[in-house]
Amino acid sequence: MITTSLRGRRTMRVITAVVGIATVLAVSTACSSSSGSAATASGSATTPLTLQTSWIPLVQFGGSYVAEKENYYKNNGVDVTILPGGPDVDSMAAVESGQADIAMGNADTVAQANANGADLVIVAAGFQKNPLAILSTSDKPIKTPADMVGKKIGVPTGDEAAQDAVLKANNVDASQVTSVPVGFDVAPLVSGEVDGLWVFYSEQPIAYEAAAGKPGVTMLTADYGLDVYAQVYAVKKETLADPTKKAAIEGFLKGEIEGWQNYVADPTEAVDLTVNDYAKDGGLTIDEQTKQAKLQMDLLVTDETKANGLLTISDAGIQKNLTTLAALGIPATASLFDTSLLADIYQGKNTIG
């Protein structure tokens, strides 16, 4: 399923060709919860909310699956319907149009949506490090941007600006790097057509190892200046202006954080739910999703999350995001982020529940 899950992954990569507020497919799934009213363990009514994920069901969203199945959402006053994304689903358009209350995406997709007329705000950040990476072979390893000099780099459509930004940020002459247009599978790297390949950190490296019979070398571009949060949670600014709606979003985030705390402690349940429930017809395997779940730890857990809690947004992180967005030509200010809910939830601690 690795190959299938990579098709059309523009909504989960740092650069999108176009992020417009277009017609959104209304997607439903048998594994999502009911959007009707429910009740918490104490018997009080819950507020229905819809979460639009940014891609097809994968362990990438494992913390959300755990939050639903373990009733973390309902215990915090919300009844959440999880909608799967895909190549034809614009998650930012879904929340802007009102078809979803919360949408997952990247900081750049939210900023670009706002530049196109939306009025969204990021309230939490799942992946502290962006998953865009350059994969190379152990024979010709690319460990730093300087190692790209004299190499052929496979660049999928839409990632050209990301490559330019990484090279510029690290003072590498772009004329000394050969860009080769590629798709999203690892075949060009396996065959030797390219020396390096832009990939999604927690997916293609697994596919490459299976195809090549040995692991590759992965360089996270987040470590070299491409610092935009991924798997962020965006809502309409007007939602937070309504005390009742803001309280519901805060309840959602509490449940979500508990789900991801469960995942970080042991991803076994998240993997099982992904393979056997949320993506039961997707052809996924426990082995593959377990490997992906472990790789995602590098994106989810950082020194900042250890200090401040999962899904955190720090002042330093905001500045890094704004610097990268400016380098990518996407206008944004610190108002793109609202950290008030996380502050209310954590109260100075680094865990909840």
Q: Would you say 342 and 312 are in contact if contact means Cβ atoms under 8 Å apart?
A: yes
Candidates 303, 297, 332, 308; CA nearest to 202 is 297
Q: Report pLDDT digits (tens) over 37-95.
A: 444 544 578 999 999 999 999 999 999 999 999 999 999 999 999 999 998 999 999 99
Is the pLDDT assigned to residue 19 strictly greater than 80? no
* Mean pLDDT for all residues in the chain: 89
- How do residues 290-311 score in pLDDT, each as one tens digit? 999 999 999 999 999 999 999 9
Q: What is the pLDDT of residue 294?
A: 97
Nearest-angstrom CA–CA distance, 2 and 122: 29
Q: What is the location of CATH 3.40.190.10 in the chain?
A: 2-129+228-346, 132-224
β partners of residue 340: none
Report residue 201 as tokens.
Answer: 């950190």
User: If you search the block for the tokens 């949506």, which residue do you land on?
Assistant: 113
Beta carbons within 8 Å of 43's beta carbon, 6+ residues apart? none
| Structure tokens belonging to residue 94 | 């879904």
pTM comes to 0.88
H-helix or E-strand spanning residue 305: helix 303-308
pLDDT at 43: 56
Mention the CATH class of domain 2-129+228-346.
alpha beta
Assess if CATH 3.30.2320.20 describes domain 132-224.
Answer: no
